[in-house]
Structure 1
Amino acid sequence: MERVGYKLVSLLYVCTSLVCAGKNYSLKYDLTTHNLNVSLGSTLILQHSPSSPMFFVGAGKVDFKEFRGNFFVNNYVEDRMPMSNFTVNTSTEADVIQFKFGTSSVQVTLESKDSHPLVVTFAIDPTYASNDFWLRVVATPDERVYGLGEQFSYLNLRGRTYPIWTREQGVGRNKSDIVTFFADTLAGGAGGDYHTTYFPQTTFMSSRNFYCHYGGYNYAEVNLQPSSFHEIYVNGPVSSFYFKNAASIKDLTGSLAKYLGLQPKLPDWVYTGAILGVQGGTDVMLQRYNRARENNVPVSGLWIQDWAGVLKTSFGSRLFWDWKWNPTLYPNLKTVIKDLTANGTRVLAYINPNLNSKGELFKEAANNRYFIKNSSGLPYLTDFGEFYCGTVDFTNPAARDWYKGVIQKNMIDLGLSGWMADFGEYLPADGAFFYNNQSGREVHNQWPTLWAEVNRMAIDERNVTGDVVFWMRAGSAGTGKFTTLMWAGDQNVDFSYGDGLPSTIPAALNMGMSGIGITHFDIGGYTTAAQFKHVGKALVRTEELLLRSAEAAIFTPVFRSHEGNQPKANVQFYSSDFIEQSFGRLARIFAHISNYTKSVVKDNSIFGTPVQRPLFMEFPADDISKTVTYQYMLGSDLLVAPVIQPKVTIMNVYLPPGDWKFIWDTKDYGGQAFHNVTATIGKPPAFYKKNSYYASVFSKIQSKFPLLPVPHPPQTTSTTTTHPTCNSGGTISTSYVSASRIGHHLCAMFCFMSVKVLFL
């Protein structure tokens, strides 16, 4: 090692630039002024000076309070120490920079490894009682940032701080929204906020064509508010930071997905039609199936989440979390599954890593000490909403193997072709004890990946990978290596930007730029609150919402419905023949373009390019494409502009450069322009490239799938809307405010007063 001493350069300005075979970054430093720059090509990544340090160490306390998966975080900083002067040791393979402060020091190692041109590792002197760390990454004022896992509220994330802690996404997710207010007030703070998500990840993509990935699972915060830097806060031991640059965000996204782990292709049967969310027992399941077939709905699967039994709570109908076939509710299920599968329709179910304390599997797991434990060594019990569960400890190899066996014996061997692998976010931060002796704070963010691994091991060992599919809502870095599919969680049954149908679009796009390229959502949404009618705002699904979300689902990898948590309060696909026939028509369009969708999913499994992509990923030189949030590309050839607000019949859609055709009239439309197009229910706006290999498939949609005659007055009025965009600050803009939104604000004031009276 060559040591560059301060005395040798005290009278001389020295700037050293080192780029050699073992290092794919550039380090420039000045030991007179103690300035330092680290670059990838021409892109400045890290910058340090005594007056503007690139990192800080400190001490403080982070408190977590949890209520039914909703975590409330209080981060109190007691000490924050900026770094200043440094010395440098260099070699052909790495650079080691030593920062001194008082009697302590921090050693920073720069190197190229693990397919990354720049990996930065920090070693803090143990004599300094530090548990807080801040790293500043260089930013520019006009820079746009994406990713951070599944972020629902914004596509460009600049201007806000994002805590990285997996949790319930919240109901409403907008503190100025009346639904969020009710959820906070009436349900113990369950309203959520713009940053609450099941799948946070300390990875961001920059419009300057680099990404930053933090390799740990600690609690973190990513502050994207300053104009000149992005600041990443980490609580606890600090892992390495990984940086990579490329010619485009598309290339970067593929590189990240390959590094974290690629998802496999989906089974072919998924593309043949709708996976219908049904429940209520064998007879009801078959009645729904037979009626759907009579109404020309192509059914690829029947998803019976209540296969293990049900219980009733004040929130609605919940499942009995004892994961085995309930023959009372579902008699002859194994035979029915066999017959349906032979006829081309699969049956799917539900599981999560928690076991109801009243169930038989709970007793077996408790007897074998397979649960996460409390301070007394007993199973740690979590309140999941009027029932208590133990959580299987996946850090215990024996417990993991046992639960893998539960999936294999009780689900795969039953003949099921898939399931929802739910609930990876409730893991407690404090008071829980794990087999591997880590704390809940250390395991919490990694837990969804451990849960995904158990599911993947179960199907791999049964040799059914590629035929069985499971989908998850919670995730973290590395989940994509194991899960076959993600879904967006529990959206409201409404058109709200914070937590309704619109939120599924930035969620999918940010997820794709975080390395997870195959995701989808519940058609019709999930979270229903008919009881809110008593305080002025019932949250129930309408026919319009159901069909508009089904339209959007055409242009995703999976077409799957959900009845919601209060099925009787919601309009369902089977509520009338017309609705079911309309739903079936949309499912047939989904199946019609399946060869194209399959090709896009295959690209994701090989190259890591996400299925749903922001416009700028395909058109990086187009300035307007950089501002669009609620349109996206399905693959490279199909542009989608879903109708995400009520009472819309005409949409003003932006087309990037190129020659385009509208799927509903096959006329030519020029690029780099906005166009008004028909957007009545049943005709979701979508355009394809004129020279697409699949042009003949897209061109047949208009003639092959005519609209059905409407037996009742439509639920729309003639309204034109400009598709919302997202500017550099991430705010949503739209060209109109409908009467219903004005009424919403009036209702909000009235309901606020009503709730206040109720709680006096």
Structure 2
Amino acid sequence: MKFTDGFWLTREGFDIHHAHNVRDVSIKDKMVTLYAPCKEIRHRGDTLNTPSLTIQLSSSMENVIRVRAWHHKGGVSQTPNFDVKQGLIPLGAVNTKGETNFKSGDVRVEVSHEPFKITFYHDDQVLTKVDPKGVAWIQGPEKESYMRSQLNLGVGENIYGLGERFTPYVKNGQLVESWNEDGGTSSEQSYKNIPFYLSNKGYGVLVNHPENVSFEIGSEAVSKTQFSVEGEMIEYYIIGGSSLKEVLSNYTQLTGTPALPPAWSYGLWLTTSFTTDYNEETVNHFIDGMAERDIPLSVFHFDCFWMKEFEWCNFAWDRDAFPEPEAMIKRLKEKGLKISLWINPYIAEKSPLFEEAANKGYLLKKANGDVWQWDLWQAGMGIVDFTNPSACDWYRSKLKTLLDMGVDSFKTDFGERIPTDVVYHDGSNPKRMHNFYAYQYNQVVFDLLEEERGKREAVVFARSASVGGQKFPVHWGGDCNATYESMAESLRGGLSLSLSGFGYWSHDIGGFESTATPDLFKRWIAFGLLSSHSRLHGSSSYRVPWLFDEEAVEVTKHFSKLKNSLMPYLYGTSVENNQTGIPVMRPMILEFADDPNAHVLDRQYMLGGSLLVAPIMNEDGLGTYYLPHGRWTHLLTKEVVEGGSWKKENYDYMSLPLYVRENSILAIGDQNSRSDYDFSKNVTFEIYELQDGQEASTFVTDVDGNYKGDIKAIKKDNKITIETNMEDLAYSILLNCYKAISSASAGEIETSSNGARIRLQGSQKLEIVL
């Protein structure tokens, strides 16, 4: 929200009161509290009739500083609140004349008293500053109150994140309202608003407010990031780290680390699509057609019309289309498939459940006690009140009945159109609940899946999210169009979400609205099957590949099998995400923060730490991408190229820019027909362009994510030393692009055009002379 009129003036009707100097300091209870009047105090008379701001600094974990500022403290405490790490750690604060200093981990804070200023450092490097006008209480035209904070935006500093945003990837120059809305992927609105941003200067900022946070990113004041909220208090966290990866890791430690999705969820998902006609015969036609064409399929998803029209949600199968749902699910599972069902948190008036939910107080109400209803989406629908524990139990009971039938997962759609003119069971502030509703909704469903299926089997397919929602994977990008432009905006949304703490991300392959051309569909297939999760889904037309053309069948089969063979590598990356919060799909800046060219790249990404993916987004088949410095090997052709420049090449539909980083070891599986198999058995460790004096390593897990062993390779003086602890497991090592091995201390050696393969059994130390 803008409060000024250009650089010199204040907007008519607004009064801005900012901290002028620090008049007093209190250091106790692991907190530093600053008392800052809003004007210069020249004599005792100036202490009268003037507002004052209180600024409190503390830390709940190393390298994280909490800043809380208020004008008036006496307001009633409001709920809900984000689930952030609690507790305080010692700061070792020192107060001297004119200055207060303290630190948390490697993040150091320096407070200047006259004039007021706060500088945040990582070691001796300045991260950002709060200048004298950087904390302000603002009174509006109707005497409403706002709190505003500003942080310095340095030369060359870029801001990223703020949730899944489809606007430009670098957020500088943008006004961002952190307010969940169902706006598709082609507008400034977002399904997943996360009031957290990341700076390429090496820090992050979480504004700890569930309600709307208005961000001005170098837009109102071009040298500042600004964020404001209604009310008398504002709270935010400055999050540091030794790298951008560590900043993200610290953020997820603060707000919650993502769960590890089941391995089967990484395989291809196929849906009925939205408004298409379907029954069991249609479903079997699609599934059998995929099998007949040798396209691996992992999950079949039933979208909205598995229930009767006008009755969403009643959680009951439409028996006209599916007369024997239990038997049907059993038959589908005998084909090796997992089953997903569409749900949302709305109960239509025609649903047999509406009266029960209304009578028991399970739906949101108006102030007069009436059930809040409207006709947008479902006629007369009400909204489940997840602040009511009994409503949560009731909702879970409906889902449990479906799980007992054999359903494995739920697509938790919607959760964004949440009204503010309502009363919640627990008295929550409806403005704070608007975004937070998505968290509670997905938590209820995810927790049920963990209880009923186990921790390693729980997965949802969610559209809406708020802070902490990364704990309930996975999320997809919502309603995109069947165009290359929408494909690009979907990727931008995924990159922004990844830099907001979310480890997993998917999108509707081929676009949701309209029907893609065969050309677009085939290009989107490659992109979709090189994302963490992959789903064929549309609105008014089916998405089976043979309806596009026969080549689409071959492309789908090719990339489905490629992804399945990459599962040991991908699942190892997912285990890393579960432990550290570093996302599976990574914007280039996370891996190449020292390369300024990587700071703005929004049409390519790293899949894990070793694979670079640059989807083709044009009808000419032209791949335009940037390779950072180093030697890169194309995964499919094994061609080795030097990085440090932009590349342009044409690709057919069976390929795209897909490069392996130098000094990488990829764990490749021996199966490509499914995504859930033992990733540690018969695995091949492919070593790529190991440079002299460098070391590479990786590890493998079983299908449940349990550690099974690792491998380390060191190259020195034209000799590679390999150490493993893969006890009692057969595996092999492939040295890509090494055509000649003069000797090896153990193992059976084979050579091919791709390099040399050494087959091994058990834990060994191996020396290879090149």
**Alignment TM class, shorter chain as reference:** 0.7 to 0.9
Stretches of structure 1 lacking an aligned partner (at least 5 in a row): 1-51, 61-75, 174-194, 313-318, 529-539, 702-760
1:565 positional shift: 2.0
Out of 629, 653, 657, which is 2:625 matched to? Answer: 653
The match for 1:624 is 597
The match for 1:419 is 410
The match for 2:251 is 256
Is the contact between residue 17 and residue 51 of structure 2 (CA under 8 Å) also seen in structure 1? no
1:160 positional shift: 1.2
Is the contact between residue 73 and residue 232 of structure 2 (CA under 8 Å) also seen in structure 1? no
Question: Aligned partners of 1:106, 1:403: CA distance in 2, in Å?
Answer: 45
Q: Which moved more, 1:667-676 or 1:462-471?
A: 462-471
Supply the AA of the counterpart residue of 1:477.
V
Question: Aligned partners of 1:619, 1:257: CA distance in 2, in Å?
Answer: 21
1:259-311 Cα shifts (integer Å, max 9, x gaps): 21112112122234444445611111111111111111111011111363253
1:388 positional shift: 2.9
Question: Aligned partners of 2:561, 2:319: CA distance in 1, in Å?
Answer: 33
Q: Secondary structure at the match of 2:405?
A: coil
TM-score, normalised via structure 2 length: 0.72
Q: Does 1:547 align with 2:522?
A: yes
Supply the AA of the counterpart residue of 1:486.
H
Is the contact between residue 568 and residue 667 of structure 2 (CA under 8 Å) also seen in structure 1? no
Is the contact between residue 504 and residue 532 of structure 2 (CA under 8 Å) also seen in structure 1? yes
Question: Aligned partners of 2:459, 2:223: CA distance in 1, in Å?
Answer: 44
Supply the AA of the counterpart residue of 1:284.
T
Question: Aligned partners of 1:600, 1:149: CA distance in 2, in Å?
Answer: 22
**Aligned residue pairs, count:** 583
Supply the AA of the counterpart residue of 1:203.
F
1:361-410 Cα shifts (integer Å, max 9, x gaps): 2122112111001233121113324623100001111111211222112x
Q: Closer, same or farther in 2 for the Cα pair 1:473/1:115, shift >3 Å?
A: farther
Question: Aligned partners of 2:624, 2:669: CA distance in 1, in Å?
Answer: 24
1:90-115 Cα shifts (integer Å, max 9, x gaps): 32632211122434322111122244
Out of 78, 92, 112, which is 2:59 matched to? Answer: 112
The match for 1:475 is 465
Is the contact between residue 274 and residue 300 of structure 1 (CA under 8 Å) also seen in structure 2? yes
The match for 1:566 is 540
Question: Aligned partners of 1:310, 1:644: CA distance in 2, in Å?
Answer: 38
Q: Closer, same or farther in 2 for the Cα pair 1:310/1:561, shift >3 Å?
A: farther
Q: Does 1:524 align with 2:514?
A: no
Q: Secondary structure at the match of 1:432?
A: coil
Q: Secondary structure at the match of 2:374?
A: strand
Question: Aligned partners of 1:375, 1:117: CA distance in 2, in Å?
Answer: 40
The match for 2:483 is 494
For residues 580-591 of structure 1, the aligned pairs below 5 Å read: 580-591=553-564
Stretches of structure 2 lacking an aligned partner (at least 5 in a row): 1-6, 39-48, 75-138, 674-770
Is the contact between residue 524 and residue 549 of structure 1 (CA under 8 Å) also seen in structure 2? yes
Out of 75, 86, 90, which is 2:26 matched to? Answer: 90
Is the contact between residue 192 and residue 466 of structure 2 (CA under 8 Å) also seen in structure 1? yes
Q: Closer, same or farther in 2 for the Cα pair 1:374/1:572, shift >3 Å?
A: farther
Question: Aligned partners of 1:368, 1:573: CA distance in 2, in Å?
Answer: 49
Q: Secondary structure at the match of 2:489?
A: helix
1:399-458 Cα shifts (integer Å, max 9, x gaps): 11211222112x2112111121011100012x2111122332121011111111111221
Out of 441, 444, 448, which is 1:454 matched to? Answer: 444
The match for 1:407 is 399
Supply the AA of the counterpart residue of 2:476.
W
Q: Secondary structure at the match of 1:231?
A: strand
Is the contact between residue 277 and residue 561 of structure 1 (CA under 8 Å) also seen in structure 2? no
1:585 positional shift: 2.5
1:603 positional shift: 1.0
Question: Aligned partners of 2:240, 2:234: CA distance in 1, in Å?
Answer: 20
Q: Closer, same or farther in 2 for the Cα pair 1:380/1:546, shift >3 Å?
A: same
Give the superposed CA RMSD: 2.7
Q: Judging by fraction of residues, say which structure has more helix.
A: 1
The match for 1:754 is none
Q: Secondary structure at the match of 1:233?
A: strand
Q: Which moved more, 1:319-328 or 1:368-377?
A: 319-328
1:130 positional shift: 5.1
Is the contact between residue 566 and residue 668 of structure 2 (CA under 8 Å) also seen in structure 1? no
The match for 1:639 is 612
Q: Secondary structure at the match of 1:143?
A: coil
1:463 positional shift: 3.9
The match for 1:596 is 569
Question: Aligned partners of 2:417, 2:536: CA distance in 1, in Å?
Answer: 25
The match for 1:238 is 233
1:133 positional shift: 1.1
Q: Closer, same or farther in 2 for the Cα pair 1:592/1:251, shift >3 Å?
A: same
Is the contact between residue 555 and residue 653 of structure 2 (CA under 8 Å) also seen in structure 1? no
Out of 476, 489, 499, which is 1:503 matched to? Answer: 489
Out of 304, 313, 336, which is 1:344 matched to? Answer: 336
For residues 304-343 of structure 1, the aligned pairs below 5 Å read: 304-306=302-304, 308-311=306-309, 320-343=312-335
Q: Does 1:387 align with 2:379?
A: yes
Question: Aligned partners of 2:250, 2:381: CA distance in 1, in Å?
Answer: 39
The match for 1:124 is 71
Is the contact between residue 650 and residue 680 of structure 1 (CA under 8 Å) also seen in structure 2? no
The match for 1:712 is none
1:640 positional shift: 0.4
Is the contact between residue 216 and residue 238 of structure 1 (CA under 8 Å) also seen in structure 2? no
Question: Aligned partners of 2:625, 2:68: CA distance in 1, in Å?
Answer: 46
Question: Aligned partners of 2:553, 2:315: CA distance in 1, in Å?
Answer: 31
Out of 423, 436, 442, which is 1:433 matched to? Answer: 423
Question: Aligned partners of 1:396, 1:596: CA distance in 2, in Å?
Answer: 42
1:657-710 Cα shifts (integer Å, max 9, x gaps): 221111332111111122233322231221112442117779x99xxxxxxxxx
The match for 1:373 is 365
Question: Aligned partners of 1:630, 1:578: CA distance in 2, in Å?
Answer: 25
Question: Aligned partners of 1:471, 1:696: CA distance in 2, in Å?
Answer: 27
Is the contact between residue 348 and residue 378 of structure 2 (CA under 8 Å) also seen in structure 1? no
Supply the AA of the counterpart residue of 2:182.
E
Q: Which moved more, 1:149-158 or 1:129-138?
A: 129-138
Q: Secondary structure at the match of 1:413?
A: helix
1:75-97 Cα shifts (integer Å, max 9, x gaps): x9644333323312132632211
1:644 positional shift: 1.9
1:578 positional shift: 4.1
1:171 positional shift: 6.2
The match for 1:185 is none
Is the contact between residue 116 and residue 242 of structure 1 (CA under 8 Å) also seen in structure 2? no
Q: Closer, same or farther in 2 for the Cα pair 1:238/1:414, shift >3 Å?
A: farther
Spell out structure 1 runs of 4+ moving beyond 6 A: 695-698
1:633 positional shift: 0.4
Is the contact between residue 263 and residue 485 of structure 1 (CA under 8 Å) also seen in structure 2? no
The match for 1:710 is none
Q: Closer, same or farther in 2 for the Cα pair 1:546/1:80, shift >3 Å?
A: same
RCO greater where, 1 or 2, for CA within 8 Å and sep 6 or more?
Answer: 1
Is the contact between residue 286 and residue 544 of structure 2 (CA under 8 Å) also seen in structure 1? no
1:575 positional shift: 4.6
Q: Does 1:687 align with 2:659?
A: yes
Out of 490, 501, 506, which is 1:515 matched to? Answer: 501
